[in-house]
């Protein structure tokens, strides 16, 4: 299907695949969010592509973390840097060992790009596909307002989370601070990413109970109905699974409270998605799922590989436990 964005008001009976960070492959010199990575992915006939944006003091660039230290070795936060501080910097392919980066890295042929250039060049490479902009925290507000004035909105989906946005009124107020097009709610196509573990955090913020599956279903419905009643329209809901298989946990009452709530949240998300499919305010809602990405360390002397992810804010390495709960 060409340009999925233009088919929002249709019921789909098929599955669509979207690459993650342009389907990066560091071993081949293809870093995440790189334009050359996008080109290589397109040559493999992928046409729908997710990428990450972060906000600087005067615009947006394509990168995953809030700090450029992983991709460029520049220390600090993007929020305190300008586009000019980072644009054109070669994207590094980092390796790590023993909970830290190795002293060497490989320079790719990609560079940090402003989102304008990334989307413009991307459109030339993939004229019939779409782009799926991953916007964390408050970045969604500034990016949504900006793209509402650009032709890019015709082929770009914007994904946001409940890390900091927890109500429809809050989202709309944040977007309005950045002077969007008056028709931005129609022009901008939003995707909400639901993490099971965030249900517990939402319950605390709402002052609602979170001791059962039913409690957590009520919490998520409050979020979704609130967004809808505020006039926020969704293109899709995306769920991120933790990997917990409730069917394999026989004695829930024997689990500690944190793990028990993680199991409840996993089951609650399934129920919420089933409800959202038929909720009258979500016509032709698309449902998706995805996986979390992590990096693998250099093998240790005993041939065991250690797993790490990145701290989103600082770019520091964080051990990735075998049974990580999202």
Highest mean pLDDT among 9-13, 49-53, 243-247, 297-301: 49-53
Looking at residue 296, what is its pLDDT? 66
Average pLDDT for 208-227? 95
Taking the C-alpha atoms of residue 118 and residue 49, their distance in angstroms, rounded to an integer, is 12
Looking at residue 107, what is its pLDDT? 86
Q: Higher model confidence: residue 325 or residue 38?
A: 38
Which neighbouring-strand residues pair with 240?
Answer: 290
Read off the pLDDT band of 325 (50, 70, 90): very low
Residue 21 has pLDDT above 80, yes or no: yes
Looking at residue 299, what is its pLDDT? 66
Reference 119, options 197, 10, 5; nearest CA is 5
Which residue in this structure is represented by tokens 């914007």? 158
Residue 276 has pLDDT above 50, yes or no: yes
In the chain, the percentage of residues whose pLDDT exceeds 70 is: 91
Residue 224 has pLDDT above 90, yes or no: yes
Taking the C-alpha atoms of residue 239 and residue 291, their distance in angstroms, rounded to an integer, is 9
Taking the C-alpha atoms of residue 169 and residue 287, their distance in angstroms, rounded to an integer, is 24
Q: Are 238 and 194 in contact (CB under 8 A)?
A: yes
Mean pLDDT estimate for the chain: 89
Highest mean pLDDT among 13-22, 253-262, 303-312: 13-22
Q: Are 190 and 234 in contact (CB under 8 A)?
A: yes
pTM value is 0.91
């Amino acid at each position: 299907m060409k340009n999925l964005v233009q088919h929002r008001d249709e019921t789909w009976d098929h599955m669509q695949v979207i690459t993650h960070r342009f389907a990066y492959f560091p071993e081949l010199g293809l870093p995440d969010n790189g334009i050359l990575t996008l080109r290589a992915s397109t040559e493999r006939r992928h046409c729908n592509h997710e990428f990450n944006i972060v906000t600087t003091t005067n615009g947006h660039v394509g990168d995953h973390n809030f700090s450029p230290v992983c991709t460029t070795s520049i220390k600090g936060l993007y929020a305190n840097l300008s586009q000019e501080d980072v644009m054109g910097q070669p994207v590094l392919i980092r390796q790590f060992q023993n909970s830290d980066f190795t002293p060497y890295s490989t320079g790719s042929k990609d560079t940090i790009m402003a989102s304008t250039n990334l989307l413009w060049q991307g459109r030339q490479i993939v004229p019939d596909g779409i782009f799926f902009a991953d916007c964390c925290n408050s970045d969604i507000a500034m990016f949504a307002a900006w793209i509402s004035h650009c032709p890019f909105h015709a082929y770009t989906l914007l994904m946001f989370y409940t890390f900091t946005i927890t109500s429809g009124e809050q989202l709309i107020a944040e977007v309005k601070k950045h002077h969007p097009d008056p028709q931005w709610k129609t022009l901008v196509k939003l995707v909400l990413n639901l993490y099971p573990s965030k249900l517990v955090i939402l319950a605390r913020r709402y002052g609602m109970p979170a001791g059962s599956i039913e409690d957590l279903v009520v919490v998520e419905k409050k979020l979704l109905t609130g967004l809808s009643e505020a006039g926020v329209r969704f293109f899709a809901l995306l769920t991120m699974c933790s990997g917990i298989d409730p069917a394999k946990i026989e004695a829930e009452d024997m689990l500690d409270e944190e793990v028990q709530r993680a199991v409840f949240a996993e089951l609650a998300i399934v129920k919420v998605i089933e409800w959202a499919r038929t909720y009258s305010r979500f016509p032709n809602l698309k449902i998706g799922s995805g996986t979390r990405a992590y990096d693998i360390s250099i093998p240790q002397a005993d041939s065991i590989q250690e797993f790490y992810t990145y701290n989103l804010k600082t770019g520091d390495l964080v051990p990735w436990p075998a049974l990580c709960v999202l």
